[in-house]
Structure 1
C-alpha cells in the first residue's frame, strides 16, 4: 500500500466495506435517509477515483418489509431488505426520524423496537438522525447517554425519556459508540463526522466540498440562531427590543440596560425574557455576539482582539471562553474550519 492509500484508508485498516444499515419506516423524513446515504456514496466514488484501496461503505436500506416505503415527502424509497432478515455483521446502524404521527406508529411497533434493542448492542456504531432518537430511546439504548434531536422535540424527549440527557442546541452529539443528530440536514453533518472518524479529516473535507457544503459545522454549533429565535417572537412585549438588539448587541450593553429599555424591573424582565425566547438575557446576548464573531471569523482576517471588540466582548480571552462554553470550539479552530 502506498503512502497516499495509507492516508485515505482510515484508522482501522479494515479491508471489507463498512456495512451501514439505514432503518426507515412509513412516513419517515426523506432527507434523514438520503442525506447520510449520499455522503457515504460520494466517499465510495471519491475513493475509486483516487485508486485508493480503502474499502468504503456498503449502504443497505432496511424497512418492515422489502420494497417501497413512502416518505413524509410523498417520495418512495425502496428498501433492500426487511430489517428482521438482516444477516451478517453491521458496522453502523442508522435510524431515521419522521413527523409526529408516523413516529408514533414506529415507536409503537414492538417488533421494530425489540429488533433495535437486540441489534443495537451488537453494532460498532449506533446512529440516529432527527427524531430517530426516539426509537433508540424507546428501545432502552440511550439510557444514561447524552443525545440530541430536532430542536422542536428536545423537550418531549427529555420529558418522555428522563433517563436520557438531552443537549438541546447541539448539531450532533457523540457519546461512546452512540451518535445522535439534530433535525434532518444535521444528519449530513453527522455523516461527515463519521467519515472523518473512519478515513481522516482530509477526506471528510474533500467530501464536503464535493457536496457543495460549507466545509463542516462543529458538533457543538447551535441548531438555530438567535436571529431566528427573535423572528419567532412576533408581537409581544419584547418584539421591538429584540429587533433593536440584533443591530446593537456589539455595543457595551448590560442586562439592566435592556430592562430599562423594556420599561420593566430587572426581575420581571428576566422572567418575561426567558418565557419569550427560551433563554436568559445574558445567554441571548452572548449568542448574538457569538454570531457576529462567527461572521467576522469567516469573512475577515481580523486578529482575535479586533474580532472580540467588534462583536461586543471585552477582549480575546472573553471571546475564547464564551465560544468554548457555547459552541465547544475555540474561535481559532472555528476560523480554520470555515
Structure 2
C-alpha cells in the first residue's frame, strides 16, 4: 500500500487536494476490480495542516470506515507527500506566504531527506524550492521572473509540464493535478494501476481519434485534404483488413510510389509500419477494456493467423497480448461485469 500525506499549507488551495483524493479513490476502485479478494486498498491518504498534524478537515476526505481506518494506521509501504498550491495575489505576497509556512517547509525537507516522494504543482513548487529539494522545476511563464529572483539556483524548465528528479515530481499548473498524482503513484510502485487510471482520468487524444475510426465514424484532424491525411484516414477506417497499398493510394489520389515517399518524409516509416502501429493501438484498447478473445482481436486487426498477430504485438510492446491484458485491464473477472436483465415499469 502507498500512503499519501496531503499537505495543506497556510494559504493553500484545498480543492487541489480533494482532486488528489478523487484520483486515489479511482486507483483503489481499479485495484478492487482486479483483485476483489484483496483486503487492502492500493492507496491510503491523510490531510495534513501547515504544522504537519492531521487537519481538522481530514474527516471530510474519507467517505467510509475503511478509508478512515487506513488513514489512521497506514500499512507499511512507500510514502508520498503532496503539497497543495498556494493562492497568490502577487510575487512579493507569495514569497511572504512561503516564509510564513516555515513549518510546512521544514516538513517537506524532513520527508525529502527521509526518502519520501514529494509532489507539488503550480505555486506549491515554491515550498519545495524553499526547502532546497529541487534542482529544476516547470514554472508557469507568469511567475518565472519572480521565481528566478528568489530561487536563482533552481533551473526553470519551460518546455516540460511535469518534471521528476531526485524523488520530487513537479507539475507546472494545478490543472495537471490528476496527471501529477498518477506520476507519483507510478514512481511509488503502482505503475500498472497508474497506467489504467490515466486512461480513465486523462484525455488520450490519439486513442480518442482512433476510436472514431473503430466505430466507423469520421476521424477528425488537421489538414484533411492532404494526401497523407486522406491515406491515414483510409487506413484507420480499414485497419481490420489486409493492407492494399493501391487502395490507400487511390483514396489519397496519388500513386503508390508517391504515398510511400510521403510516409517516409513525414513519419519516417513505411505505410505498413504505420498500419501496424494502428493495429497495435486497436489491440491495446480492446485488451484493456473488453473481454474479447485474442483470436477475435487478431481477426479484427487484419490477421488471419493469431500467432502472427501475437508476434507482431510482442515486437511492438515487448510482451504478449495476454500478459498485456493481465497488467493493464480495467476489468475484473467476467462474472462481475455480467449484465442483469431487468424489466422496466410501463410509463
TM-score by length of 2: 0.49
By how many angstroms is 1:246 displaced? Answer: 2.6
By how many angstroms is 1:248 displaced? Answer: 0.8
Q: Is the 1:106–1:112 contact (alpha carbons within 8 Å) kept by the matching residues of 2?
A: no
**Equivalent in the alignment of 1:236:** 225
**Equivalent in the alignment of 2:317:** 323
By how many angstroms is 1:191 displaced? Answer: 0.7
Comparing 108-117 with 313-322, which one deviates more in the overlay? Answer: 108-117
* SS in structure 2 at match of 1:236: coil
Q: Tell me the alpha carbon deviations over residues 255-314 of structure 1, each in whole angstroms, 9 at most, x when there is no partner.
A: 565335423345543554578789874554234323321332244333334323322354
**Equivalent in the alignment of 2:106:** 88
Unaligned runs of 5+ in 2: 26-43, 47-60, 113-117, 124-138, 211-218, 332-347
Correspondence 1:5-154 to 2 at 5 A: 8=1, 17=5, 35-36=19-20, 39=23, 43-44=45-46, 45-46=61-62, 47-50=67-70, 52-54=72-74, 60-63=83-86, 67-68=87-88, 82-83=97-98, 86=102, 87-90=105-108, 91=112, 92-96=118-122, 103-111=140-148, 114=151, 117=154, 136-137=156-157, 149=161
The alignment covers a number of residue pairs equal to 247
**Equivalent in the alignment of 1:247:** 237
Q: Tell me the alpha carbon deviations over residues 55-109 of structure 1, each in whole angstroms, 9 at most, x when there is no partner.
A: 987654454xxx5559xxxxxxx98973355430424142339xxxx94332333
**Equivalent in the alignment of 1:127:** none
Give the Cα–Cα distance (whole angstroms) in 2 for the partners of residues 23 and 307 of structure 1: 52
* SS in structure 1 at match of 2:120: strand
Give the Cα–Cα distance (whole angstroms) in 1 for the partners of residues 289 and 7 of structure 2: 39
Q: Is the 1:270–1:280 contact (alpha carbons within 8 Å) kept by the matching residues of 2?
A: yes
Q: Is the 1:148–1:173 contact (alpha carbons within 8 Å) kept by the matching residues of 2?
A: yes
- Cα 1:222–1:256 shift into 2, 3 Å: farther
**Equivalent in the alignment of 1:169:** none
**Equivalent in the alignment of 1:309:** 299
- Cα 1:295–1:191 shift into 2, 3 Å: same
Q: Tell me the alpha carbon deviations over residues 97-135 of structure 1, each in whole angstroms, 9 at most, x when there is no partner.
A: 9xxxx9433233353672671xxxxxxxxxxxxxxxxx7
**Equivalent in the alignment of 1:291:** 281
* SS in structure 1 at match of 2:197: coil
Whether 2:188 is the aligned partner of 1:217: answer: no
Q: Is the 1:23–1:94 contact (alpha carbons within 8 Å) kept by the matching residues of 2?
A: no
By how many angstroms is 1:186 displaced? Answer: 5.8
* SS in structure 1 at match of 2:106: coil
Q: Tell me the alpha carbon deviations over residues 129-148 of structure 1, each in whole angstroms, 9 at most, x when there is no partner.
A: xxxxxx7426xxxxxxxx96
By how many angstroms is 1:53 displaced? Answer: 1.4
- Cα 1:260–1:305 shift into 2, 3 Å: same
